[in-house]
């Protein structure tokens, strides 16, 4: 990887953040983590990641609200947001994409699919 891409992983389940961090780091990405919606917005502004993996069910601000705020912010709106969530119904996916998310992956997931989705959106940048 010529330039190290930055990914912000947002999930209140710390153990899951750690396994994702481990996999993405081994693939050459620089990983930042946030565990609440509020922290996610702060880290997004501070680190300007190339992509955000975003959980929906979180304390304080939920993932839909975070995504909406990101897409309304001129300095962040071009960052691809991939929802990574336990909410698996079609209506959940609809609302995710409706708030401006670029993609939607349901838990549990395979790393192969996660990496494929990340690569797809980073290529489009």
Partner 1 sequence: MKVFSIFSTLFKRKSKPDIQHLQKIYHELEALDKAKSDFLTLISHEIRTPLAVINSSLELLKTTEEPESRSKLMGLAKKHVARLRKFAEYAIDISALDIGKLELKKESFMINEVIDEVMNKYAPSIESKVLTLHLESHGEPIFIFSHKEKIKNILSELIENAIENSEEHKNIFIEIHRDEKYCTVCIRDQGAGIEEDMKDLVFEPMTKMGDILSHSKGTGLSMYWAKKILALLGGEISFTSHKGEGTEFVFKAPLALSKRLAA
Rounded CA separation 51/87 (Å): 21
Q: What's the min distance (Å) between Cβ of 48 and partner 1?
A: 26
The window from 1-9, 38-46, 56-64, 67-75 that contacts partner 1 (CB under 8 A) reads 56-64
The window from 44-52, 67-75, 104-112, 116-124 that contacts partner 1 (CB under 8 A) reads 104-112
Q: What's the min distance (Å) between Cβ of 72 and partner 1?
A: 18
Contact call for residues 70 and 82 (beta carbons, < 8 A): no
- Secondary structure letter of residue 110 according to DSSP: -
Contact call for residues 92 and 55 (beta carbons, < 8 A): no
Q: What's the min distance (Å) between Cβ of 56 and partner 1?
A: 6
Q: How far is CA 58 from the centre of its chain?
A: 13
Rounded CA separation 38/58 (Å): 10
Q: State the residues that interact with partner 1 by CB under 8 A.
A: 12-13, 15-16, 18-20, 22-23, 26, 56-60, 62-64, 86-88, 106-111
């Amino acid at each position: 990887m010529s330039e190290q891409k930055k990914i912000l992983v947002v999930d209140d389940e710390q153990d899951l953040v750690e396994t994702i961090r481990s996999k993405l780091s081994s693939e050459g990405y620089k990983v930042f983590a946030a565990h609440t919606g509020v922290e996610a917005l702060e880290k997004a502004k501070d680190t300007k990641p190339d992509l955000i993996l975003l959980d929906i069910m979180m304390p304080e601000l939920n993932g839909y609200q975070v995504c909406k705020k990101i897409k309304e912010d001129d300095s962040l709106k071009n960052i691809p947001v991939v929802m990574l969530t336990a909410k698996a119904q079609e209506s959940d996916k609809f609302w995710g994409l409706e708030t401006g998310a670029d993609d939607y992956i349901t838990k549990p997931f395979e790393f192969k699919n996660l990496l494929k989705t990340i690569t797809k959106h980073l290529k489009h940048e």
